[in-house]
Amino acid sequence: MKKKLRILLVWILVSLIFQFGGYSLLNNQILKTFGPMEDSILPITPHLKATIPSSDITNIQVSYAKDYLAYSENGTLKIFNLKKGNIVYEKKSPSATDQTLGVLMYQWLPDRNNLLYFYAKKNPNEVTTVKVSSSKPKIATPSIQTQTEDPNEAKIVPKEVPVEPKFEKRYGSPQITELYSLELPNSDEDIAPDDHLKPFNPLSGREKISVGGKIEKFVVSPATNLMYITVMKGSTQQLMKIDIYNEVSTLNKTSEFINNMAISDRYATLYIDSKVGAIQQVIALNNDKRLVISKNTNDRIIGVRKGKVYIGEVINNEIVKIKTIDDLQVMKENPSLKTEWEGTIPFNKSVHMLIGVTGQLIVYDNQKASIITDGHLTDVQLHGDENYVSADGAELIQLTKQGTSTLVELQPLKP
């Protein structure tokens, strides 16, 4: 009997081994199938020219498909169809004088023609009057006599007078900040954009954003729908997370200043340049857990793209080294950084930096784009009055003033 039982257990074990082996092989094949597919998706890089009927436009952002251009003109958000050459959407400020109202910040999603934007307006119920219940007992007036059946007897009955109700004023935020999602149709179609409000959870405290001040930075993870913003009021900065239920929470430490941040395109891990007093670090926030990625006071987060986190070492306003680590679902503290490139690239407040779809680092201003690809640096001279690079690093957007109009030219950015 024992021998038969041992034989049965051996066959069960062998069967399990084959099953796990088969599942593992199947899983690897699936990863091989979907992994290269993600890496093989080429960015959209059209050659386009269009004329915008304005010469005073700011905050230029091109859509994922490179067929819409979002910009701000005198406080109004406008969406321009680059293929048809017309404005398809406008969102004006509710005030012509108050620059703190209207569209505060906007950003295209990296995988579809969908624009998220924050909009501020005056709070019509900033001051509300609330009835306050009183705990005081009713006040009795002097007693009076009431005649009973026996005329020789009298009964004392108190007369009660209710206390007058009290009201008090309560003050809320002077403004209301709202989050909208604007979905654009195919640029060849004559369909109005779908603009809808994404209401914040009332229990999460929308006031946190409304009273915060100026929204400085905004990153979003399409994979998880998590959003992070930094809000500045006076000398105080707050880092806020907006989850899929539109609940708002504050994550930063006391007296912490965040100069830059980037979000993982796979796991929604947030990487920040954190400065508390004299301590400057690169920090990873994963499920609100903080991990130190680099204690080097010269290191700055650049971006995250397809499984790699890019960190630049900045000395005397120059990037002198590019380092990377793997972007993992579970990050470890103080990981070993791999040096990808060494040299010098000017790095100041006038430059923009991003990581392209092929892992190339792009640092650019209005005159030149410095592109590091596989450890090699190439400089590209830019010729527009203003120059921008798409978020995927693949497209160059050149603006040239022409009287009261602006010529927009799109072309692939090549080293």
Lowest mean pLDDT among 136-145, 155-164, 362-371: 136-145
Whether residue 297 lies inside any domain: the answer is yes
pLDDT value at residue 408: 97
Higher-confidence residue of 415 and 251: namely 251
Q: How far is CA 242 from the centre of its chain?
A: 8
Lowest mean pLDDT among 5-19, 43-57, 319-333: 5-19
Q: What pLDDT digit, counting tens, does each position of 363-398 carry?
A: 999 999 999 999 999 999 999 999 999 999 999 999
Stretch 94-119: mean pLDDT, rounded?
92
Stretch 252-265: mean pLDDT, rounded?
92
pTM: 0.79
Whether residue 211 lies inside any domain: the answer is yes
CA distance 220 to 270: 10
CA distance 145 to 143: 7
Looking at the 3D structure of the chain, how many domains does it have?
Answer: 1
Whether residue 280 lies inside any domain: the answer is yes
Give the DSSP letter of residue 165.
Answer: P
Whether residue 386 lies inside any domain: the answer is no
Stretch 72-89: mean pLDDT, rounded?
96
Whether residue 281 lies inside any domain: the answer is yes
pLDDT value at residue 323: 97
Higher-confidence residue of 159 and 168: namely 168
pLDDT band at 176 (very low <50, low <70, confident <90, very high): confident
Whether residue 282 lies inside any domain: the answer is yes
Q: What pLDDT digit, counting tens, does each position of 270-285 carry?
A: 999 999 999 999 999 9
CA distance 233 to 215: 9
Whether residue 229 lies inside any domain: the answer is yes
CB 365 within 8 A of CB 351: yes
Q: Which domain holds residue 273?
A: 202-338
Whether residue 25 lies inside any domain: the answer is no
Instruction: List Cβ neighbours of 77 (8 Å cut-off, separation of 6 or more).
Output: 70, 71, 89, 90, 91, 102, 103, 106, 117
pLDDT value at residue 349: 85
pLDDT value at residue 119: 94
The CATH number of residue 245's host domain is 2.120.10.30
Higher-confidence residue of 143 and 208: namely 208
pLDDT of 136 > 70? The answer is: no
CA distance 205 to 173: 11
